[in-house]
Amino acid sequence: MLEAVISKKLRDFTLDLTLSVEPGKILVLMGGNGSGKSTTLNIIAGLLDPDTGYVRLSGSTLCEPAKEICIPIERRRIGYVFQNAAVFPHLTVHENIAYGLRAQGLPRQEIAERVSQMVGLMHLDELAGVRASNLSGGQKQRVALGRAIAIQPSLLMMDEPFSSLDIESTAAVKELIREVVTMMDIPCILVTHRVADSREIGNNAIVLCSGKKEWEGDSGFIPDTCSVCHCPSGSP
């Protein structure tokens, strides 16, 4: 279970957000550009520090400024897929997926087993030896997802995973995300712009507007526009 109470002063507004996600569920974060969605993910991942509040994952506190608790990024065990997938272009698909496992110092045999499992799960069998720079957008997203879950994270976060994908790849990646979250029984936060995607993939949703929670509820009922500033919650 992920629980976060976050407050952080940003340039144009203060981000104030409380959220919780249960294992096996997907929370969709929506909102206009610069509403604080990616900042929220970065705070949970440890790339940014909140001014006040806390982030708790599976019962342990990752960050709580008042108690001077701040677990380093590399020890949080959070699978984070960035907007551009950030697949390491100089490494092969196999090396990308193995990267986190090597960083954690796992035995070679275990790394090989886990990578081969991920390659199969992400349908990347024929691309294992291909350099990541030669992959398509959809393939990169699958590599990024496989790499993120290979480390057996306690939380999966994805920032705009469908933004550069065509309809076919979007459907395939959505299917994979749902499969992975259910199989691993971990909470997942997904940032997207498209209302249709949110309604389809999410369990719950939060619509942010200038750092404040504008709407929260079942993702099937996300409003098309924000009632405060009438900015679109996302594109249809």
Partner 1 sequence: MPRPVRAPVVMKTPGSLSEKHRRLLAYLGAAILILSVTLYLALPVAALFFRTTPELFLASLSNPQVISALWLSLTTSVISLTVVILVGTPFAFVHSRSNYPGKVIVDTLIDLPLVLPPAVAGFALLVLYGRMGLLGKYFHMMGISIAFTTLAVIIAQIFVASPFYIRQAKSLFEQFDQNYEYTARTLGASPVRTFLTITLPLTAGGLLSGAVMTFGRALGEFGATIMFAGNLPGVTQTMPLAVYVGMESNFDMGLTISILLVIISFIIMISVRLITRRGMPHA
Binding site for partner 1 (CB under 8 A): 45-47, 73-80, 82-84, 86, 88-90, 99-100, 103-104, 133, 144, 147-148, 151
Minimum CB distance to partner 1, residue 169 (Å): 20
| β pairing state of 69-70 and 78-81 | unpaired
Distance CA 204, CA 136 (A): 30
Minimum CB distance to partner 1, residue 41 (Å): 10
151/195 with CB nearer partner 1: 151
Minimum CB distance to partner 1, residue 173 (Å): 17
Minimum CB distance to partner 1, residue 74 (Å): 5
Residue 85 Ramachandran class (φ > 0 left, ψ -120 to 50 alpha, else beta): left
192/219 with CB nearer partner 1: 192
Minimum CB distance to partner 1, residue 153 (Å): 8
Distance CA 31, CA 96 (A): 31
142/215 with CB nearer partner 1: 142
For the record, the structure tokens of 193 come out as 């712009």
Minimum CB distance to partner 1, residue 100 (Å): 3
CB 189 within 8 A of CB 205: no
77/212 with CB nearer partner 1: 77
DSSP, collapsed to helix, strand or coil, labels residue 21 as: strand
96/198 with CB nearer partner 1: 96
117/227 with CB nearer partner 1: 117
Place of tokens 């092969």: 92
DSSP, collapsed to helix, strand or coil, labels residue 201 as: helix
Minimum CB distance to partner 1, residue 132 (Å): 10
Counting every residue written for the chain, the total comes to 236
Alpha helices in the chain (DSSP H): 37-45, 93-103, 108-121, 137-150, 167-184, 195-201
21/226 with CB nearer partner 1: 21
C-alpha distances in Å from residue 42, one per residue of 38, 109, 118, 133, 222: 6, 33, 25, 25, 24
Rg (CA), the chain: 17
